Structure 1
Amino acid sequence: MSKELVDLVQAKLKEDTWTRATISNYTKNNLIELTAIVEKARSENCAGEIKGICDEQLSHTKDSITALYISGMLGLKQGSLDNSSLEALVDIFQNNHKEPIVVYMCETILSDDKSNKFALRTLAANYEQEGNAELWSIYERIVKVDLTEAEIAKKLADHYAAENDAEKANEFYKKALLRYVNNKNINSANEIWSKLVAAIPEEIDFFLLVQRKIAKSISADKSALMMQELYNWYKDNKKWDTAIDILKLNLTIDPKDPWARREISDCYAQKYEKHSHVEEYIRSSDLNQSYRNVFEAISDFEKHIAFDARNFVYHRTWGVGVILKVENDTLTINFGKNGKKDISLKMAVNALQPLSKDHIWVIKATVGSKSSKFKTKEELAKEIKTNKAWALKTIITSYNNSCDFKKIKAELVPSILTTSEWTSWNSGAKKLLEEDSTFGVNPNNINEYTVRERAITPEEKYSNEFKAQKAFFARIDILYKFVEDETTDKESELLADMFSYFTGFLKSFNEVDEQVIASYLVVKEVGQEIPSLAFQCKYTFAQLYGELDKPKEMYTILKGSKKGNLRASFLESVKMLPNWEDEYIKMFPAILKKEVLESIIHADQVDKVQKLVTDSFEDFRTYRDVILFLFDECSDEDWFKAANVSLQKQLIAIVNIISQCYREIDNHVESTENKKIINNACKMLFDKDNNKYAAFMLSCDMEQMSHMYTLVDDIRELDGVIKTQLRNKILEKYPDYKFHATEEKSSAPKGMLVTSKKLEEKRALVEKMQNVDIPAIAKEVAEAKEKGDLKENAEYIAAKEAQHKLGNDLKRLQEELARAVVFDPTTATSSIVSFGTKVTLLDKASGKDEEYTILGPWESDPENGVISYMSPFGNAILDHKVGEELSFTINEHKYNFEVKKIVIAKL
């Protein structure tokens, strides 16, 4: 730290005696001098020390202008949210009518912190007194950084309304309304609501969003009263469907509301004024009678009114039908192939579901009819494939405008799309639902989609998804999507609402769990990205972390968020702790990142990393993931080698891990995870091109080599191919090595061993049978069938027999393919008679040599000396060694051989 700068600051503090004369003579130039000191402290990296000197001065001289200014400005530049020093100084200058100095202070603060609420509000107060035209831009900045400020948002809206800028006026009226609702100021909210109903009544989704917020946070009854005002506009403009929806919403809040019941009857009467029975149906449904459940009455009315000629209906047994006529109380309905049915109106209400002409069931049922625009099923399929938006809207609206993908798939597969067509269609449809703002999610069910009459803003779309989503970490992902989306308004109150959900976890909690930690990380990260959302948590990360029982588990849990990288933020926060290296070591089994170990090493703590290495290989049960990671990723590092864990110990630890995993699988413990570990471990040790285990094993003396091999051979469940490879490696070096009897048996996997060449031949044959032979024989059958009486038709009978045989052959071949296991030539061994060997046998009876190549059933060619290892003869000579004699009987013929020679067959 510069002694010259310290001396300068201390000199300023000594001469800084507070008197009225001092204040009256204070000018902007005095503050400019202090600003230069602040900048010098920052450039010389001693801001903390200089601030400490000033804070010490304030501890006994609280009104020191120099100390207040330097401490406050340095704190501001360090990112502190505490403006108390600067606020105290502004108060001093304002009380002494030093407004120019106050303005300079605010401008200086804002040059460093554009979103400083204190400076903006102080500047606005001065601009108000001066009548400065810049006031409105300052107001906009305040509204942008303070998402709770409603009064200024209203002032801005009124200002732009007077300027005839309707777009900006409505923008700020919306902000003001949402903020008044958040502040529970219902009277002011009512005033703004009326203005917006007059200005933008067609933005129904926005009003519904506000209604839900009012109902939840203030009063459902008050939200219903406000919706009445919006309803009047829709009724006056004869937008009956929306008007009726609003009334249904209000009746959900108060089913006995007499006004709403009268109004919904009136809306129905006007909507269906051309229907001859509308008044009768309103009366018979008891819509106007308070004793009748209103929603049962509505359902009755809507069913009755739908039962008119040329309308469509659905019956569970007969399917889709069209009403041909209605006479008195009888409906005549054409159900297509199920014929015409006469049904009483009373029965129809209970048994039939009315369908609109645009319902997906109607569209599918009427394909090819005069009323349908689709003449064939292929035309409908083409439309669905090329116009996904139309298909989605049709299906979703068919399910009362709330439908999940399970229902969408059921409507399309297999009736219109094949399973493979659905796969590509499905991914495109999901992308469309994500991007097209005329689609949204059901606010009560995140898995169901809705269709909107008008496009909504990205902010509303994310807000609806957030409310519909109940899973905590999925909500984090939606928040991050909102923040990362370049099209969204980061000043939106809807973003503030989502953000406040997470700050709520930090304001009150009983114990520190994953939601508290994740909320802290989210609030910190988003607050840095969007300063207007900055939140001062009363707990530090160190305090929260200290309450955790198992930090390792916390790191794993934080994987729940797919969008935000919470685990990286968690590690960054842990690194700010004084003992972060120890905490990293504790958590490492969950982390498994090389850069984490390197960061500890760079902090001159290599001994801690090496202790982790030695501890891991001492306890393979606890550290199995760490062992595999270290062996695979770090074994070439100098710090790893310096830990002095022998390669033999490393290899044995991994073999023990494989054995442990098999035992856990036998006990049905995390079978999927254990199988994954086994696969990874086997690749590390027994890779065909780089068999590290075999290389080390063969470098040992005979006793160690036998021990190493036995460890692998004792794992009963381990792939026999691995064991065979190890045995072959041993035999290459020690041809006379004697294995235990059980080890000398050939290791054939379950299934049927085949050569890769023969497998390709069989696959090609299956493809030919499916794509060439079967269609050809089907054509022959069809042609023969056209020639007359089938009983006397020899061509037809022969073709059917050929077709039947071909089908059986294909089925048998497919079953064999399912059992086929490709033989790995590298596992072939000449130590015993086995698959892939050529054996020379001396016939003891004739004294002649016989040569046989042992392969599988597909390759079998006895006339040329190729026999199947699954045949009686092949099975009898299998697993014998050179010099051994064998006798056996097949089909009453006795054989007596001596094995003279075994070589690897050329495949």
Structure 2
Amino acid sequence: MISEIQKAVEAGKLSAAAGQALEKLSPGTFVVHKSWGFGQVDAVNFLVSQMTIHFTAKKGHPMQLQYAAETLEPLAPDHILAQVAADAAAVKTRAHGDAVGLMRALLGSFGGKATQDQITQALVPAVFSEAEFKKWWEATKKTLKRDGHFVVPAKKTAPFELRATPVSHAAEFLTTLANARQLKDQLTALDQILKNLGEFTDAATQLTPVLATADSQARKNQRLNTAQALEMLLTRDEIAEKASLPKGADALAVDQILRDEKRRLVTLIGDLPAAKHKRVFAEIPAAFGDDWPAVALDLATRGSTRLVTEAARLLEEKGQTEALLKGIDREIRDHAITSETLIWLCKERDGVVADLVNPRLLSSIIGALERDQFDEAKRDRRLHDLLLNDKELLPDLIATATLEDMRNIMQKLMRTPVFEELNKRSLLGRIIRVFPEMQALLSGDSDAKQETLVVSWESLEKRKIAFDELVNKTIPENVKEISVARSYGDLRENFEFKAAKEMQRVLGRRRSEMERDLSLARGTDFANSDATRASIGTIVTLRETTDGRFDVYTILGAWDGDPEKGIVSYQSALAQALMGHQPGEQVTVPTEHGDRLADIVKVEPYRRA
């Protein structure tokens, strides 16, 4: 082929530079083109001055020799792309057996550095499927981090680099901290040291200056960048604790900053990364002594949802659950509770705050949403969306509601501007499924007079006793059952908890029904009954027309029915068939075996025994 190249150069068909380039493009050579990517030279035809290349996406592609010489880059046989094309299975075997060696070869093929995208394109899909590569790559990156020959970037778009000589990771971390000039970069460098403490073989020598640097930078920024200074001290303390090193007698203390910034503690801790919250909350008892529960409670009622979570956890762990519940309940009663605390309450409603989950909490949620709607600084829809999207939340909030509670809530919900009409209808529908009697309020018939219930004094007294037992015994027992069931653990798989919660709804429904019935009940002794016709408080004697049999029925109050004694409620079908008819009239009497004709023989007034 060299002789043909020389002839083409002498004939002026190729430039001398192109001729030299073509000497490296013999058939079988692997090449790379800027536009068409990886390929392999298939054939060279000097008669027509043309070369055929098999590119990955363009098989048998012809190119003029001069153009090919100028645009194709030949690859050495040990280039990673050439190895993959020649024997992908062998590359895969090497990847599993010597991942570090393969990465050295790969980075060497790309001039000593390559991005993750370049690495992926070289190995997927020829060597690995996407799923296989992801698993292999995660393990390989961890190996590369431990090997001092590689620079593993923090950013995904930055390149992985191959070093000529290995570098200690500990030395690299220390150098990064020493060269960091911006506070943000210093915090990042400190975090890297914290995450890689295992790299430091002589902690006392290597890390003592780090602690001093952190203390010094925190002091410099204590006034102007208090949150970052506090973050630096928290990281410093964690490094000292894990490396078993002293912080120094004159070291700036976290609790000192917390005390100095007590008035703006909510903002200060809120500006910290979430990863630092648990540690800073652990410092609160020591920082504030006997006053710490009040400080934690303030964070629980004024902070973000994350702060509420951590403050509540601290109070629970330290045996201050009762103080937490009383404090939140006070905020609810004073209409001062924040949306953030309400979100936490709703999400934790099956936990220690279960006793606060009631209709008053729902009113607070609506009030908070209305307050936030007109606050330009707050455009957070999390509480709004939580009430709409959590299908069990609203039923849980009204499980123990009375009818009066529900009337107030329905009216408040119908008037509020915070929900779109369709969403409002959805919420009202959930309420009506639990309290069907509220349908009248929604349809505009709420002012219609409800029919009173005529009951005997004895049955009224029994119903009041049953209601008192339900409210003062059965429902409190159910609350205890929920508390006990909650202690069994995972609420999602806790059958006892689910059963107790379902019973809570049943009892709440029973309470509202009994409350409604008692409000409509009117007691009587039936002393002034109209005995000229069948009516409430009369004894009616019937004679069936078919067999002449006599039956006697006593028509009494709504709760007095006793079929075995012939006593029927005036609301029953039988009583309704008789009432209003006089002796001598014929009536149709409903029975278990169908309707029968009977004559009213006589009507007598009921007399109590």
Query: How high is the TM-score relative to the length of structure 1?
Result: 0.36
Name the amino acid aligned to 1:724: G
Tell me whether 1:518 sits opposite 2:231 in the alignment.
yes
Tell me whether 1:583 sits opposite 2:295 in the alignment.
yes
Counterpart residue number, 1:409: 120
1:385/1:685 CA distance change after superposition, 3 Å: same
Q: 1:586 and 1:607 mapped to 2: Cα distance? A: 11
Q: Is contact 2:33–2:72 with CA below 8 Å preserved after alignment?
A: yes
Choose between structure 1 and 2 for higher RCO, CA contacts under 8 A separated by at least 6 residues: 2
String of CA shifts for 1:799-833, please: whole Å, max 9, x gaps: xxxxxxxxxxxxxxxxxxxxxxxxxxxxxxxxxxx
Q: Is contact 1:442–1:468 with CA below 8 Å preserved after alignment?
A: no
Query: Match of 1:575, SS?
Result: helix
Query: Match of 1:314, SS?
Result: strand
Q: 2:139 and 2:155 mapped to 1: Cα distance? A: 25
Name the amino acid aligned to 2:32: Y
Counterpart residue number, 1:595: 313
String of CA shifts for 1:647-702, please: whole Å, max 9, x gaps: 332121234456778x699999456x56764468x35623xxxx223423465477
1:619/1:468 CA distance change after superposition, 3 Å: farther
Q: 1:338 and 1:317 mapped to 2: Cα distance? A: 13
Deviation at 1:318, TM superposition (A): 4.5
Tell me whether 1:450 sits opposite 2:450 in the alignment.
no
Counterpart residue number, 1:724: 429
Q: Which of 396, 409, 415 is the matching residue for 2:107?
A: 396
Query: Match of 2:224, SS?
Result: coil
Deviation at 1:626, TM superposition (A): 1.4
Q: 1:684 and 1:595 mapped to 2: Cα distance? A: 24
1:480/1:719 CA distance change after superposition, 3 Å: farther
After the TM superposition, which of the residue ranges 452-461 and 403-412 deviates more from structure 2? 452-461
Q: 2:159 and 2:440 mapped to 1: Cα distance? A: 68
Tell me whether 1:338 sits opposite 2:50 in the alignment.
no
String of CA shifts for 1:503-556, please: whole Å, max 9, x gaps: 341353352422211222222333344465634446444553325873223323
1:669/1:739 CA distance change after superposition, 3 Å: closer
Tell me whether 1:373 sits opposite 2:91 in the alignment.
no
Name the amino acid aligned to 2:203: E
Q: 1:666 and 1:611 mapped to 2: Cα distance? A: 28
Counterpart residue number, 2:530: none
Q: 1:674 and 1:434 mapped to 2: Cα distance? A: 43
Q: Is contact 1:512–1:544 with CA below 8 Å preserved after alignment?
A: no
Query: Match of 2:283, SS?
Result: helix
Deviation at 1:739, TM superposition (A): 3.4
Deviation at 1:373, TM superposition (A): 3.0
Name the amino acid aligned to 2:326: Q
Q: Which of 182, 195, 199 is the matching residue for 1:481?
A: 195
1:444/1:465 CA distance change after superposition, 3 Å: farther
Name the amino acid aligned to 2:79: H
String of CA shifts for 1:149-184, please: whole Å, max 9, x gaps: xxxxxxxxxxxxxxxxxxxxxxxxxxxxxxxxxxxx
Counterpart residue number, 1:648: 359
Q: Which of 399, 403, 411 is the matching residue for 1:707?
A: 411
Q: Is contact 1:359–1:398 with CA below 8 Å preserved after alignment?
A: yes
Tell me whether 1:559 sits opposite 2:267 in the alignment.
no
Equivalent residues in 2 for 1:771-786, closer than 5 Å: none
Name the amino acid aligned to 2:360: K
Gapped runs of 5+ residues in structure 1? 1-303, 743-907
Tell me whether 1:739 sits opposite 2:451 in the alignment.
no
Query: Match of 1:450, SS?
Result: strand
Query: Match of 2:65, SS?
Result: strand
Q: Is contact 1:499–1:523 with CA below 8 Å preserved after alignment?
A: yes
Q: Is contact 1:522–1:566 with CA below 8 Å preserved after alignment?
A: no
Gapped runs of 5+ residues in structure 2? 1-19, 55-59, 446-609
Query: Match of 1:433, SS?
Result: helix
Q: 1:617 and 1:383 mapped to 2: Cα distance? A: 69
Q: 2:23 and 2:207 mapped to 1: Cα distance? A: 46
Counterpart residue number, 1:490: 202
Fraction of identical pairs, as percent? 13
Counterpart residue number, 1:624: 339
Q: 1:626 and 1:525 mapped to 2: Cα distance? A: 29
Q: 1:719 and 1:583 mapped to 2: Cα distance? A: 38
1:566/1:694 CA distance change after superposition, 3 Å: closer
Query: Match of 1:459, SS?
Result: helix
Name the amino acid aligned to 2:160: Y
Q: 1:516 and 1:421 mapped to 2: Cα distance? A: 43
Equivalent residues in 2 for 1:673-692, closer than 5 Å: 673=382, 677-678=386-387, 682=390, 685-686=393-394, 691-692=395-396
Name the amino acid aligned to 2:442: F
Q: Is contact 2:215–2:251 with CA below 8 Å preserved after alignment?
A: no
RMSD: 5.3
1:434/1:399 CA distance change after superposition, 3 Å: same
Q: 2:80 and 2:174 mapped to 1: Cα distance? A: 30
Name the amino acid aligned to 1:614: R
String of CA shifts for 1:85-107, please: whole Å, max 9, x gaps: xxxxxxxxxxxxxxxxxxxxxxx
Counterpart residue number, 1:568: 279
Q: Which of 682, 693, 697 is the matching residue for 2:397?
A: 693
String of CA shifts for 1:857-900, please: whole Å, max 9, x gaps: xxxxxxxxxxxxxxxxxxxxxxxxxxxxxxxxxxxxxxxxxxxx
Counterpart residue number, 2:217: 505
Query: Match of 2:218, SS?
Result: helix
1:319/1:669 CA distance change after superposition, 3 Å: same
Deviation at 1:395, TM superposition (A): 3.9
Deviation at 1:614, TM superposition (A): 1.9
Q: Is contact 1:359–1:395 with CA below 8 Å preserved after alignment?
A: yes
Deviation at 1:489, TM superposition (A): 0.7
Q: 2:388 and 2:427 mapped to 1: Cα distance? A: 12
Counterpart residue number, 2:524: none
1:615/1:560 CA distance change after superposition, 3 Å: closer
Greater helix share, 1 or 2? 1
Name the amino acid aligned to 1:342: L
Q: Which of 29, 32, 57 is the matching residue for 1:314?
A: 32
Name the amino acid aligned to 1:554: L
Q: 1:460 and 1:305 mapped to 2: Cα distance? A: 45
Counterpart residue number, 1:786: none
1:727/1:413 CA distance change after superposition, 3 Å: farther
Counterpart residue number, 1:823: none
1:431/1:697 CA distance change after superposition, 3 Å: same
Counterpart residue number, 2:139: 428
Q: 2:50 and 2:250 mapped to 1: Cα distance? A: 70
String of CA shifts for 1:307-348, please: whole Å, max 9, x gaps: 95677653313434679999xxxx997643334553489x84
Q: 1:416 and 1:708 mapped to 2: Cα distance? A: 64
Query: Match of 1:508, SS?
Result: helix
Tell me whether 1:441 sits opposite 2:168 in the alignment.
no
Q: 2:61 and 2:384 mapped to 1: Cα distance? A: 54
1:583/1:548 CA distance change after superposition, 3 Å: closer
Q: Is contact 1:334–1:340 with CA below 8 Å preserved after alignment?
A: yes
Q: 1:441 and 1:737 mapped to 2: Cα distance? A: 68
Q: 1:446 and 1:464 mapped to 2: Cα distance? A: 23
Counterpart residue number, 1:818: none
Query: Match of 2:273, SS?
Result: helix
Q: 2:178 and 2:50 mapped to 1: Cα distance? A: 46
Q: How many residues align structurally?
A: 403
1:613/1:512 CA distance change after superposition, 3 Å: farther
